[in-house]
């Protein structure tokens, strides 16, 4: 269920007390770690915004008791260090009046528990993070927490909860202009559909829209893993299945981007030109124009590059930060391809500034890598020119997509 509707059930964090299964186990390290986690998370609960403020004396009393117990665990095991870290961060949060200070410790402990396959315990910690810290999480942390929350649900085969959390993560990422996390959300939803067999169910039931969304999610998953040749047939099938124009064209735009990643600039331009010709949604058309500019620079088409760049600039004022960063990034790459390295440097730094200002970390990492290699990229660009003339990856399915694209504008 979406986190906004999450509530603690019965005794919060009782899942950790299940490690104590009998009188003899109560003194084992494993049992004490469970008890320590229970105490530390109960301390965090005192900071929840929807409960009455706790007096300084009451919080101090509970903190001293919790710290005494957890401090003994700190050196006993890796998990003990996590548990004590949560208790310490809760004390700092109370003292400084900043609940966000608990976030790093809660994230780290949830990650540890997931890696240890203590999935229900990981879910409890993530629930604490999302409910207690809640809307005071930064946009980046809120998206990351929702994605991890969804993934743990998926690993537990709780597919309805996983799908809802992935959807919420995608909405938050889109609002924040974080295209990378929005893609992760789509990949997660695709994996959820596969996990519970919905793709087969959708096909059997004739649910075209559900099947199209599943196909597009699978395509995104393959593309993210660097397997564009496997992704393209799924994205093309999504395009064929969608009945609503905007969804159709988004899928076709994905086909174009993926084809270019394989070096098929001709096929990419056919797909993207169709998006540009038929598109009505601002986002869909702007993305197509940026990718068409990118295609032109890939083919070393100076005239085409300049034409599409001008059209991008006409739309620049209406572009969100992630799209503006993408435009300057690909314009910078284009200028480098044409040997204008000083101009490329200025544009890439502009892209980096936009990405940094909007918290688009994936963009920042990518741009920084390109900037670092710019001084020596002349040789790489020369190699790329040679590679661009060689045959692209081809399969029977890709040839079928290319032939179908050739008929689009006819």
| Mean predicted confidence (pLDDT) in 318-330 | 90
Residue 8 DSSP symbol: -
Instruction: Single out the residue of 42, 69, 46 nearest to residue 57, CA to CA.
Output: 46
Q: How many CA atoms lie within 13 A of 44 on its CB side?
A: 34
pLDDT of residue 330: 96
Model pLDDT for residues 118-167, shown as the tens digit of each residue: 889 999 999 999 999 988 888 889 999 999 999 999 888 788 899 999 99
| Mean predicted confidence (pLDDT) in 352-378 | 82
Model pLDDT for residues 30-79, shown as the tens digit of each residue: 888 989 999 999 999 898 887 777 788 888 888 888 888 888 887 778 89
pLDDT of residue 379: 60
Instruction: Single out the residue of 8, 241, 156 nearest to residue 165, CA to CA.
Output: 156
Residue 392 DSSP symbol: P
pLDDT band at 240 (very low <50, low <70, confident <90, very high): very high
pLDDT of residue 377: 64
Flag the least confident range among 16-20, 164-168, 206-210, 254-258.
206-210
Alpha-carbon span 301 to 217, nearest angstrom: 33
Res. 180: pLDDT tops 60:
yes
Residue 28's CB: how many other CB atoms inside 10 A? Answer: 13
Long-range contact list for 202-206, CB < 8 A, 24+ apart? Answer: none
122 contacts 89 by C-beta, under 8 angstroms? no
The distance of Cα 292 from the centroid of its chain, to the nearest Å, equals 25
Buried b (16+ CB within 10 A) or exposed e, 323-334: bbbbbbbbbbbb
Q: How many angstroms separate the Cα of 195 from the Cα of each of 2, 191, 241?
A: 20, 6, 21
Question: Scanning the structure block, which residue is given the tokens 């995608």?
Answer: 170
Helix or strand holding residue 231 (H, E): helix 228-241
Question: Scanning the structure block, which residue is given the tokens 């207690």?
Answer: 132
pLDDT band at 389 (very low <50, low <70, confident <90, very high): very low
* Cα separation of the two ends of the chain: 47
Model pLDDT for residues 267-290, shown as the tens digit of each residue: 999 999 999 999 988 888 999 999
């Amino acid at each position: 269920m979406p986190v906004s509707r999450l509530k603690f059930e019965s005794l919060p964090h009782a899942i950790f007390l299940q490690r104590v299964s009998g009188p003899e186990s109560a003194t084992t390290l494993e049992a004490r770690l469970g008890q320590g986690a229970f105490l530390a998370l109960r301390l965090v609960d005192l900071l929840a915004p929807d409960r009455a403020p706790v007096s300084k004396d009451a919080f101090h009393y509970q903190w001293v008791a919790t710290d005494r117990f957890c401090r003994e665990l700190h050196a006993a095991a890796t998990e003990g260090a996590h548990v004590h870290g949560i208790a310490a961060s809760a004390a700092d949060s109370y003292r400084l009046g900043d609940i966000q200070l608990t976030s790093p410790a809660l994230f780290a402990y949830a990650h540890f528990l997931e890696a240890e396959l203590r999935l229900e315990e990981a879910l409890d910690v993530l629930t604490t993070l999302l409910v207690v810290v809640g809307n005071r999480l930064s946009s980046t942390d809120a998206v990351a927490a929702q994605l991890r929350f969804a993934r743990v649900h998926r690993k537990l085969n709780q597919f309805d909860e996983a799908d809802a959390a992935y959807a919420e993560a995608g909405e938050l990422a889109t609002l924040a202009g974080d295209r990378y996390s929005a893609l992760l959300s789509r990949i997660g939803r695709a994996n959820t559909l596969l996990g519970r067999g919905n793709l087969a169910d959708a096909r059997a039931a004739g649910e075209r829209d559900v099947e199209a969304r599943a196909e597009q999610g699978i395509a995104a998953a393959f593309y993210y893993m660097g397997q564009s040749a496997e992704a393209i047939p799924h994205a093309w099938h999504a395009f064929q299945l969608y009945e609503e124009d905007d969804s159709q064209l988004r899928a076709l735009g994905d086909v174009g981007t993926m084809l270019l990643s394989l070096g098929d600039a001709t096929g990419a331009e056919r797909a993207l030109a169709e998006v540009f010709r038929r598109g009505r949604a601002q986002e869909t058309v702007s993305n197509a124009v940026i990718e068409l500019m990118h295609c032109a620079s890939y083919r070393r088409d100076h005239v085409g590059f300049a034409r599409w760049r001008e059209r991008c600039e006409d739309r620049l004022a209406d572009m969100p930060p992630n799209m503006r960063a993408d435009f300057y990034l690909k314009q910078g790459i284009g200028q480098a391809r044409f040997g204008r390295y000083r101009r490329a440097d200025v544009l890439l730094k502009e892209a980096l500034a936009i990405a940094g200002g909007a918290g688009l970390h994936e963009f920042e990492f990518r741009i920084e890598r390109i900037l670092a290699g710019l001084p020596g990229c002349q040789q790489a660009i020369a190699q790329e020119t040679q590679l661009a003339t060689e045959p692209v990856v081809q399969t029977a399915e890709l040839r079928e997509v290319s032939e179908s694209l050739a008929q689009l504008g006819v």
